[in-house]
């Protein structure tokens, strides 16, 4: 009798182990892990993993300019033979070799948020960043009365997503608003303190600035800190990109006049879903564009904006 019970338990253990081993593993490698944007991407990826019964292996650098370390992480996932991969490239060129090796191994690879100077991957899932940059330009132009001097706190060289935003902003300003001059641009290097210093430098060099655009979360936080230090709320207009709890409070306080917001939860979810679709024999689209939205103080109490600004991260990140 005891022997039968032991045998039955052993069978159940082996069956459970077998079922676990059959669960597909999808690696998700973000540009960074420290900002709310990437934490929300992670929550979306985990939600997709739960929905499609795959294991999510999340691994990324703390900062967004650790190029060599990101290459190591991608190469380690290829060596580990994960079933699929979704990656947000820190630099448009640095990861090309690693992604080529992943694709050559037969692994489905989705690139999300920030792209590569290559098309050797399965799907690209991202905000339409060029259009989002145009949205920022048009909002800032409206805020400054379509005339005057403006400046840009850029993110980091080589980051395709933010470069596309900055290009959309610049080209929209030049084409649509001839009475606005973009008189200064500096990189914040995806670092809040460096972005604050960049904003301070431009405000000092151009005390008559009518407005400023910051093209990413760290750039936006740094610019907002510079505005607060100088008491510029309500005087010089600031259009930010991405969101955080602190940035939302700065919108309420009138320091930030508008935020251009993405949907990072959906981005993480869709990036994983495209990989799972391929593993299940489907053919995902080559490109999936997600739309940004402009948020002002008047929008903060709208239910759909609240859901975007305050995702339930605790539900997924434990």
What is the C-alpha to C-alpha distance for residues 276 and 155, in angstroms, rounded to an integer?
Answer: 32
- In 217-281, beta strands by DSSP E: 237-241, 258-261
Per-residue pLDDT tens over the stretch 268-317: 999 999 999 999 999 999 999 999 999 999 999 999 999 999 989 999 99
Architecture label for domain 2-125+263-289: 3-Layer(aba) Sandwich (3.40)
Q: What is the pLDDT of residue 184?
A: 98
User: Does 2 score more than 70 pLDDT?
Assistant: no
What is the C-alpha to C-alpha distance for residues 33 and 97, in angstroms, rounded to an integer?
Answer: 23
For residues 35 and 218, the answer to whether their CB atoms sit within 8 Å is: yes
What is the C-alpha to C-alpha distance for residues 173 and 107, in angstroms, rounded to an integer?
Answer: 42
Nearest to 269 by CA among 260, 277, 259: 277
pTM over 0.85: no
Per-residue pLDDT tens over the stretch 20-65: 458 999 999 999 998 889 999 999 999 999 999 999 999 999 999 9
**Domain range annotation of the chain:** 2-125+263-289, 129-261
The tokens describing 239, both together, are 């259009």
What mean pLDDT, rounded, does the chain reach?
93
For residues 240 and 224, the answer to whether their CB atoms sit within 8 Å is: yes
Q: What is the pLDDT of residue 6?
A: 40
Taking the CA of residue 262 as centre, how many other CA atoms within 13 Å lie in the half-sphere pointing to its CB? 32
Per-residue pLDDT tens over the stretch 64-92: 999 999 999 999 999 999 999 999 999 99
Phi first, then psi, for residue 264 (nearest 5°) are -65, -30
Nearest to 87 by CA among 25, 36, 31, 46: 31
In terms of Cβ atoms closer than 10 Å to its own Cβ (0-12, 13-18, 19+), residue 15 is: exposed
Indicate the helix (H) or strand (E) that contains 310.
none
Place of tokens 């939205």: 293
Which residues neighbour 8 within 8 Å (Cβ) at sequence distance 6 or greater?
Answer: none
What is the C-alpha to C-alpha distance for residues 121 and 116, in angstroms, rounded to an integer?
Answer: 9
Residue 14 pLDDT grade (very low, low, confident, very high; cuts 50, 70, 90):
very low
Which residues neighbour 292 within 8 Å (Cβ) at sequence distance 6 or greater?
Answer: 127, 128, 131, 132, 135, 260, 261, 262
SS3 label, residue 28: strand
> 129-261 — its CATH code?
3.40.50.2300
Indicate the helix (H) or strand (E) that contains 252.
helix 245-253
Per-residue pLDDT tens over the stretch 100-128: 999 999 999 999 999 899 999 999 999 99
For residues 87 and 112, the answer to whether their CB atoms sit within 8 Å is: yes
């Amino acid at each position: 009798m005891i022997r039968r019970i032991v045998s039955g338990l052993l069978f159940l253990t082996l069956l459970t182990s077998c079922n676990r081993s059959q669960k597909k593993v999808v690696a998700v490698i973000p540009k960074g892990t420290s900002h709310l944007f990437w934490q929300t991407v992670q929550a979306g990826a985990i939600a997709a993993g739960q929905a499609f019964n795959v294991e999510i292996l999340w691994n990324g650098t703390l900062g967004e300019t650790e190029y060599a370390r990101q290459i190591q992480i991608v190469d380690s996932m290829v060596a580990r033979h994960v079933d699929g991969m979704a990656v947000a490239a820190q630099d448009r060129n640095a990861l090309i070799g690693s992604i080529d090796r992943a694709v050559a191994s037969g692994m489905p690879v989705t690139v999300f948020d920030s792209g590569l100077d290559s098309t050797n991957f399965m799907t690209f899932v991202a905000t339409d960043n060029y259009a989002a940059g145009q949205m920022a330009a048009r909002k800032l132009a409206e805020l400054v009365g379509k005339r005057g001097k403006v400046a840009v706190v850029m993110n980091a060289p080589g980051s395709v997503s933010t470069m596309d935003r900055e290009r959309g902003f610049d080209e929209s300003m030049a084409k649509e608003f001839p009475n606005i001059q973009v008189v200064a641009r500096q990189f914040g290097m995806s670092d809040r303190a460096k972005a604050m210093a960049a904003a301070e430098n431009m405000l000092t060099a151009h005390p008559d600035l009518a407005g400023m655009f910051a093209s990413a979360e760290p750039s936006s936080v740094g610019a907002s800190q510079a505005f607060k230090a100088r008491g510029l709320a309500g005087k010089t207009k600031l259009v930010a990109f991405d969101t955080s709890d602190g940035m939302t409070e700065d919108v309420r306080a009138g320091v930030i006049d508008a935020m251009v917001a993405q949907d990072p939860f959906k981005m993480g979810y869709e990036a994983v879903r495209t990989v799972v679709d391929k593993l299940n024999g489907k053919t995902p689209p080559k490109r999936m564009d997600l739309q940004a939205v402009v948020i002002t103080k008047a929008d903060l109490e709208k239910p759909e904006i609240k859901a975007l600004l305050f995702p339930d991260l605790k539900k997924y990140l434990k």
